[in-house]
Structure 1
């Protein structure tokens, strides 16, 4: 009976590893494409916009987060007996740091788009638009710093608990569980709530501004004005809002599941790693420069494959003629 249970566990773990590898490969391809296109464009002297800075930083953070989570997923179950609690904690905190940076950068992207596109004319709004437009790089650094501070606080809290000699109950259902991680449930939850709040405020303001603007244009007598661009931006805001909400729900669900059961929810971790891949794919689709480069790349691959196939056919025909 025990052998049957262990066999089922091995099959389940192998299936999760395959899914994690598929998500990792897809993420590396998508995120590295975004980074490569923007960096190459800057290297050639192309224009650099605040949105380009944020999207590139977002791609870097997402790629690193997926690599760290996959590494944690592979290493922790295999070598957990050789890892002390502090080393295990550091691996988990690196994943939390990168996930938090992903949330802050997504919120920063929404704020920049809100300030750039919205047609509010208040003094505070105009001041923020001018300030953020020239300080995007510093704000990206601030996002990383906030994530690092939260991880440092979490580390200090947990190390204090370890030093005090507190013990934690361990469930027998999952032998690699170490309930010491339960200490950083509260600071992580609080930390991810702030970027979500800023994101919701900026997204609602931007969507409201665009909605009122399109309504006024519809009511005007000038019917020659195209509203497709505005509808496209509103669709982008809606899709990104859905993504960010799902990401936050999945992230909090992982924390709550661990808090209640003291077990790592592997399936949720895989979903948490795959959601940014979907959003980055949508960013490529919605960004003209990235979409154009993706089309060229796919066209080159298609031409290469068909050219190779035609060459093989000709060689086979020549061999037959001989």
Structure 2
């Protein structure tokens, strides 16, 4: 019974990873399809494509690690280091790219006439590839620094401890560093979200009284909702990862399930929120229904 439950947990984790791969593949395929048809790849499209690619890597590595742990129990050290750094790079990219997407969506709909804002808008929208590359490199740097820092602290405390409490002291110190590191990311994301939401809400208040701007009001509300939902999903992921460092009695498979749920949920929300992706999904869904009922 215990072995069956163990493999059922890993099967569930695998299903969530496969679901994530499917959703990210859809996003990537739709962006590429539009580009091949001669469509213009906007700044938003480029960020969504990068987000989908980053999350695809994350889900793929999760599935690979789930299968490896389920059947082989341990992972060779060098492989573990590579997978951990790539996985963390994908996770950190998810945060930076989500922030960048929120910023670009805000600048795209904003009608602020402030000179600084207009200059910032031009720089960001015309340097999007540089910003994407910078996000990935920053994520790689954060992931590498994070990995080295945690392991150095673990080794340092292990060397200064007696044989009875080596593991506990080293692990507790490393966990403390992880929690602080993740909370720094949460604070950065919160501040960036607040800096986007506050001016949008103030501007929305000004234009709401104009009856001719109903369409613009609706766009503002949708963008604000998207930014808030993106922050809440990312914050939930960061908080879970941080609290997971305490003893919450979750199995490895259980952790993989929850880790995959957050990027999967946000990507599903992304398909719903972005008109282009939503229309593609509706078309595919209708075609599948026609094929099903025509049999």
Taking structure 2 as the reference length, the TM-score comes to 0.83
Alignment match, 1:44: 37
Shift of residue 212 of structure 1? 2.0
Alignment match, 1:204: 194
Alignment match, 1:290: 277
- Take 2:177 and 2:55, find their aligned partners in 1: how far apart are those partners? 21
- Take 1:165 and 1:182, find their aligned partners in 2: how far apart are those partners? 10
Alignment match, 1:109: 101
Q: Does 1:247 align with 2:237?
A: yes
Tell me the secondary structure at the aligned position of residue 211 of structure 2: coil
Alignment match, 1:152: 144
Alignment match, 1:312: none
Change (3 A) 1:277 1:122: same
Shift of residue 192 of structure 1? 4.2
Shift of residue 17 of structure 1? 1.4
Contact 2:158 2:169 in 1 (8 A): no
Q: Does 1:307 align with 2:294?
A: yes
Tell me the secondary structure at the aligned position of residue 47 of structure 1: coil
- How many residue pairs get aligned? The number is 290
- Take 2:251 and 2:119, find their aligned partners in 1: how far apart are those partners? 45
- Take 2:51 and 2:242, find their aligned partners in 1: how far apart are those partners? 20
Change (3 A) 1:38 1:12: same
Alignment match, 2:18: 25
Contact 1:120 1:209 in 2 (8 A): no
- Take 2:73 and 2:11, find their aligned partners in 1: how far apart are those partners? 20
Change (3 A) 1:118 1:217: closer
Alignment match, 2:83: 91
Residue deviations 1:200-230 (CA, integer Å, cap 9, x gap): 2332233223322332234x4x434313333
Shift of residue 53 of structure 1? 0.5
Residue deviations 1:163-189 (CA, integer Å, cap 9, x gap): 889479899xxxxx9998777646654
- Take 2:73 and 2:122, find their aligned partners in 1: how far apart are those partners? 50
Alignment match, 1:12: 5
Q: Does 1:132 align with 2:120?
A: no
RMSD: 3.3
Change (3 A) 1:131 1:293: same
Find the partner of 1:58 among 51, 59, 69.
51
Contact 2:233 2:262 in 1 (8 A): yes
Find the partner of 2:203 among 203, 207, 213.
213
Q: Does 1:223 align with 2:215?
A: no
Deviates more, 1:241-250 or 1:29-38: 241-250
Shift of residue 127 of structure 1? 2.6
Shift of residue 286 of structure 1? 1.3
Alignment match, 1:267: 254
Residue deviations 1:226-261 (CA, integer Å, cap 9, x gap): 13333222222232222122122122223x23xx58
Contact 2:150 2:178 in 1 (8 A): no
Change (3 A) 1:138 1:188: farther
Contact 1:115 1:129 in 2 (8 A): yes
User: Structure 2: which 5+ runs fail to align?
Assistant: none
Find the partner of 1:280 among 258, 267, 271.
267
Tell me the secondary structure at the aligned position of residue 225 of structure 1: helix
Taking structure 1 as the reference length, the TM-score comes to 0.77
- Take 2:249 and 2:234, find their aligned partners in 1: how far apart are those partners? 26
